[in-house]
C-alpha cells in the first residue's frame, strides 16, 4: 500500500485510480486550477472527466486534504493542506506566492470578537519582490 492510499484511507475515502491520480497531480506542492489537475490526472487515468475531477476536489476539500484558494477571483486554485500559510498575488506577474506571517493573538486564541475561528486564509495583493526589482 503506498503513501497516497494510506492518506485517503485514514480519511475514510475509498481509494480509486481516479482519486489517486487527482492526489498525485499535486505532487506535494503548488497551486493548481481544476483544469491543471484534470490535465495531469488524465495522463494517469485517460478516462477521467473534468466533472469527476471537480467532485474529487470537493471531496478532498471536505476531508481537509486540500484547500481551495480564491485569491484570484477568476478561478479557484487548490493545494494540499500542509501547514498554515497565506497567499500573495502579484498584480504585475500574476504569480501566487506562499507567505508566512507571525501568529497574532487572534489566531493564537482562535477567536475574534467572541466568534471561534475554525479556518482562515489571508489574501494579499500587491507587487512581488522580483517585480519591484525590475521596476528599479
Ligand atoms: Zn511579480
Ligand atoms: Zn500555498
Digit-coded pLDDT (tens) for 88-100? 999 999 999 999 8
Q: Please state, in angstroms and rounded to a whole number, the distance separating the CA atoms of residues 48 and 54.
A: 11
Question: CA 85, 44, 95 angle in degrees (round to 5)?
Answer: 30
Distance 87 CA to ligand 1 centre (A): 13
Q: Which residues surround ligand 1, an ion (CB under 5 A)?
A: 90, 92-93, 128, 131
Confidence class of residue 1 from pLDDT cuts 50, 70 and 90?
A: low
Question: CA 13, 17, 22 angle in degrees (round to 5)?
Answer: 75
Domain closes at, from 51, 79, 107: 79
Of the bound ligands, which one is closest to the alpha carbon of residue 32?
2
CA-wise closest residue to 80 among 21, 28, 13: 28
Distance 83 CA to ligand 2 centre (A): 9
Distance 125 CA to ligand 1 centre (A): 10
Q: Three-state SS for 128?
A: coil
Based on the fold, state whether residues 102 and 115 are members of the same structural domain.
yes
Based on the fold, state whether residues 73 and 88 are members of the same structural domain.
no
Distance 80 CA to ligand 2 centre (A): 8
Based on the fold, state whether residues 116 and 75 are members of the same structural domain.
no
Per cent of the chain over pLDDT 70 is 97
Q: Please state, in angstroms and rounded to a whole number, the distance separating the CA atoms of residues 136 and 131.
A: 9
Q: Which residue has the cell 486554485?
A: 77
Amino acid at each position: 500500500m503506498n503513501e497516497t492510499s494510506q492518506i485517503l484511507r485514514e480519511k475514510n475515502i475509498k481509494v480509486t485510480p481516479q482519486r489517486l491520480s487527482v492526489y498525485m497531480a499535486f505532487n506535494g506542492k503548488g497551486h493548481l486550477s481544476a483544469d491543471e489537475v484534470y490535465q495531469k490526472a488524465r495522463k494517469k487515468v485517460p478516462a477521467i472527466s473534468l466533472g469527476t475531477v471537480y467532485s474529487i476536489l470537493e471531496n478532498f476539500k471536505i476531508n481537509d486534504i486540500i484547500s481551495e484558494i480564491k485569491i484570484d477571483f477568476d478561478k479557484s486554485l487548490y493545494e494540499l493542506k500542509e501547514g498554515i500559510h497565506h497567499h500573495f498575488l502579484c498584480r504585475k506577474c500574476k504569480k501566487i506566492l506562499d507567505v508566512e506571517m507571525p501568529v497574532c493573538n487572534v489566531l493564537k486564541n482562535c477567536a475574534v470578537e467572541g466568534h471561534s475561528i475554525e479556518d482562515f486564509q489571508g489574501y494579499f495583493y500587491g507587487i512581488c519582490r522580483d517585480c519591484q526589482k525590475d521596476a528599479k
